[in-house]
Structure 1
Amino acid sequence: MARWKSGVSGWVQMLLNTFLFTLVTEDATQESVTSEDTTAATLVEDTNVDSLSKVKLPRKLPSIIEIKKRLPSHCFDRQTSTSMYYMIRDFVQVIAAYYVGEFLWNNLSPAVLVVVAPVFVFVQGTFFTSLFVIGHDCGHRSFSNYRLLDDMVGNVTHTFLMTPFYTWKLTHSHHHKNTGNIDRDEVFYPVRRKYDTGGKVLPGFGLGIGWFGYLITGYKPRNVPHFDPFQPMYRKHVVACLVSLVSMAIWGTCLYRYAVTVGCAKFCYHYFGPLFVFATYTVVITFLHHHDDDIPWYSDHLWDNVRGQLSSIDRDYGIVHYVIHSIGTHQVHHLFPKMPHYHLEEATQVFRKEFPELVHLNKSPIFPAYFNMFARWAKQCIIADDTDVHIYK
């Protein structure tokens, strides 16, 4: 017993030391994903006027600083206590739903459970998604003013969802730094014909299957796997990435033992089913964030920060919109990724009033919009090598 306690103590100390090492080695570029404090508006050169004529935005855009000055200053404040409240609330929701699910499993007849189980799985999957958004805030440093706390909470929430937090944090940062850039964005970007690998995509990206496929292989042709800590993008963060992967290995072992104990059916009911629902949410939300009528993708030489971040869409997710922390309110999030999720709605209302010409808002039902846009994406995602601006029709 003494040896066991000593071993556990050693592992805990090692993890704490690793987290502290991460604080020292983390690249300074993580401090500001989109250079939101310094970026000025970029004027489009006359030679690019023809290429940008089909973009439904003003030719001269305000700078990030100009937009920020028009938004309520308190919306940029990160309150650790408020963020912790939402994290605790989300875990309480998951735990409460688990016990409700247990009651239903043990007390309903099989015939009734077949009808009720999908509802439970959907609700629990929605609560799983809310936890992912908390980790998403941690990845953007919008959870608190303490990087160590952000990384610890991000690892806990994402590990629970079988998502390697730190590698995802880096690829997601890359997406924010290059949003709407044909040649540099991270995922769902149109592919120039010379880079087309000719691979087939499952209908609707296979919904949740697409999320785990992305984590495993990345998005081709600029694919960066999330389970290989030695990828060039992770070079300065190998230790932090390994912490996330070790955390996942430990959690995976716990899940295996749970599945052996309760059986495959109950494991799918309580965890794998909701996990697939969460993954489906993630694919649908991520895709619809940046695909709609009149949303342009720019070649690298036309892209600039403000123009790229405005290639995002606000959408409303109905009865679950606030449960998943307003993540569909996306334009202001992309302009100011360090803004906590609980200020997004207020800031967005002001943004829409102050800059109506910059607003992209779609109120269409989510799943019809998703499958309609996917059909167009599937036909038009391979573009000519010399494309300057691509808009899905």
Structure 2
Amino acid sequence: MTISGSFKYLRKLLAPYERSSLPRSVWQLFNTFAPLILLWYGAYRSLSVSYLLTLAIALVAAGLMVRVFIIFHDCCHGSFFTNRTANEIIGTLAGMLTFSPFRRWRSSHAVHHATNGNLDRRGTGDIWTLTVDEYVALPLLKRIGYRVYRNPLILFGLGPIYVFLIDYRFNRKKAKTAERLNTHITNLGIAALAALLCEAVGWQAFVLIQAPIFLVSGVAGFWLFYVQHQFEHSYFEKDENWSYVDAALHGSSFYKLPKILQWFSGNIGYHHIHHLSPRVPNYYLERTHDDNATLQSARPVTLWSSLKSLRFRIWDEHRKQLMGFGYVKQYKAEHMRGSA
């Protein structure tokens, strides 16, 4: 079967799951936002008991914040509601909670879906990934810069703080009026909510509660996105050989998480299904996978095995796999022998 033929077949296979359910969406809003509000209040009340208890409550609240981001994410794809306006309103409100401007994020994320694994179209909405050849050809300072970027402490520590607190507060240079306005509305909403909570509980209590929720959910979100595309036998090809189907099935991971973490992450571990069809709502991803043997070829990445992805930093076009920086020395030696 040709790639175009298989794509048509897969589209037909996925079509029954590409319809959102209003009762399911409303229930997900309730079972996410209601406990988040209650936990935030519980964290405030716990400050007078023990800050360790506050941190424990904040940890659960951070998990719910990841779930809020998945709702935001579905709204950006227009898959959470059938009504476009409903997706924009709920998406913008969820974006205020997750510090993410709806229209800007929707635009860059659409590019990510259209270019995932395409070596000639990198740079928008993805993790900076160089090939071994590109890395070796870089001058020393740029190689150091890439190593710093790829350091887990920078990527998962400073990364979420920079992206969510700083970068997302500004518009893209070529952003249209509607996108610019949405970013400003999101910023105003964030400021208004923070001011309201500071007035209600005091700025010190606000920081003690919100800071760990923001940091833990930000790190978790970055980690999920990283593991979804940065695993050993991922998929990267030049434009002329690139395939949307292969990029989805082989360049997006099946992150098989424990059920509780799967719930908090809104089934986004079924990322290969999501990349095949972003129109499938998060609450149908597992069913889509389980109902169709054709979609079960993706090798699962477990919570334990996903830790190995921290070693993967550069793509070897010859081996077709991600390698660590330690491989560079071996690669240079092999390249010298080959050219001798």
> What interval of TM-score do these two structures reach, taking the shorter chain for normalisation?
0.7 to 0.9
Aligned to 2:312: 376
Is 1:129 aligned with 2:66? yes
Cα displacement (A) at 1:70:
3.6
2: CA distance, partners of 1:230 / 1:364: 35
Contact 1:312 1:360 in 2 (8 A): no
- The letter of the residue matching 2:311 is A
Q: Measured at CA, do residues 361 and 144 of structure 1 come closer, stay the same or move farther in structure 2, by a change above 3 Å?
A: same
Q: Measured at CA, do residues 195 and 267 of structure 1 come closer, stay the same or move farther in structure 2, by a change above 3 Å?
A: farther
Q: Measured at CA, do residues 206 and 189 of structure 1 come closer, stay the same or move farther in structure 2, by a change above 3 Å?
A: closer
Q: Any runs of at least 4 consecutive aligned residues in structure 1 with deviations exceeding 6 A, and if so which?
A: none
Query: CA-to-partner distance for each residue in 1:211-230, whole Å, 9 max, x for gaps?
Result: 2424578xxxxxxx544435
Aligned to 1:207: 156
Cα displacement (A) at 1:242:
1.8
2: CA distance, partners of 1:340 / 1:100: 31
Aligned to 2:9: 66
In structure 1, the gaps of 5 or more residues are 1-39, 43-61, 218-224
Aligned to 1:391: 321
Query: CA-to-partner distance for each residue in 1:302-335, whole Å, 9 max, x for gaps?
Result: 2121122221111133222113211111111110
Aligned to 1:297: 236
Contact 2:231 2:309 in 1 (8 A): yes
Question: Matched residue of 2:265: which SS?
Answer: coil
Is 1:336 aligned with 2:277? yes
2: CA distance, partners of 1:244 / 1:189: 24
Contact 1:141 1:147 in 2 (8 A): yes
CA RMSD of aligned residues (A): 2.6
Of 326, 330, 338, 2:267 maps to: 326
Of 283, 286, 289, 2:222 maps to: 283
Q: Measured at CA, do residues 354 and 91 of structure 1 come closer, stay the same or move farther in structure 2, by a change above 3 Å?
A: same
Aligned to 1:81: 23
2: CA distance, partners of 1:354 / 1:309: 13
Cα displacement (A) at 1:179:
0.9
Contact 1:317 1:328 in 2 (8 A): yes
2: CA distance, partners of 1:247 / 1:364: 34
Cα displacement (A) at 1:296:
2.1
2: CA distance, partners of 1:84 / 1:261: 28
User: Which residues in structure 2 correspond to 1:107-126 (within 5 Å)?
Assistant: 108=49, 113-126=50-63
Aligned to 1:101: 43
2: CA distance, partners of 1:216 / 1:254: 15
Of 243, 248, 253, 1:313 maps to: 253
Is 1:179 aligned with 2:140? no
Contact 1:132 1:158 in 2 (8 A): yes
Question: Matched residue of 2:236: which SS?
Answer: strand
1: CA distance, partners of 2:121 / 2:60: 36
Question: Matched residue of 1:392: which SS?
Answer: strand
2: CA distance, partners of 1:282 / 1:64: 29
1: CA distance, partners of 2:81 / 2:298: 28
1: CA distance, partners of 2:161 / 2:247: 26
Moved more, 76-85 or 326-335: 76-85
Number of aligned positions between the proteins? 308
- The letter of the residue matching 2:301 is N
Question: Matched residue of 1:77: which SS?
Answer: coil
Higher helix share: 2
Question: Matched residue of 2:27: which SS?
Answer: helix
Query: CA-to-partner distance for each residue in 1:23-45, whole Å, 9 max, x for gaps?
Result: xxxxxxxxxxxxxxxxx725xxx
1: CA distance, partners of 2:152 / 2:184: 30
Cα displacement (A) at 1:67:
1.7
2: CA distance, partners of 1:364 / 1:324: 13
Is 1:141 aligned with 2:78? yes
Contact 1:327 1:341 in 2 (8 A): yes
Contact 1:138 1:150 in 2 (8 A): yes
Contact 2:273 2:295 in 1 (8 A): no
Contact 1:209 1:279 in 2 (8 A): no
Aligned to 1:55: none
Q: Measured at CA, do residues 180 and 321 of structure 1 come closer, stay the same or move farther in structure 2, by a change above 3 Å?
A: same
Cα displacement (A) at 1:362:
1.2
Query: CA-to-partner distance for each residue in 1:230-263, whole Å, 9 max, x for gaps?
Result: 523x3xx332332232232242244145336644
Moved more, 85-94 or 149-158: 85-94
2: CA distance, partners of 1:66 / 1:389: 30
Q: Measured at CA, do residues 324 and 228 of structure 1 come closer, stay the same or move farther in structure 2, by a change above 3 Å?
A: same
2: CA distance, partners of 1:173 / 1:117: 37
- The letter of the residue matching 2:160 is W
Of 235, 245, 253, 2:184 maps to: 245
Contact 1:258 1:267 in 2 (8 A): yes
2: CA distance, partners of 1:114 / 1:184: 47
Q: Measured at CA, do residues 87 and 388 of structure 1 come closer, stay the same or move farther in structure 2, by a change above 3 Å?
A: farther
Question: Matched residue of 1:296: which SS?
Answer: coil
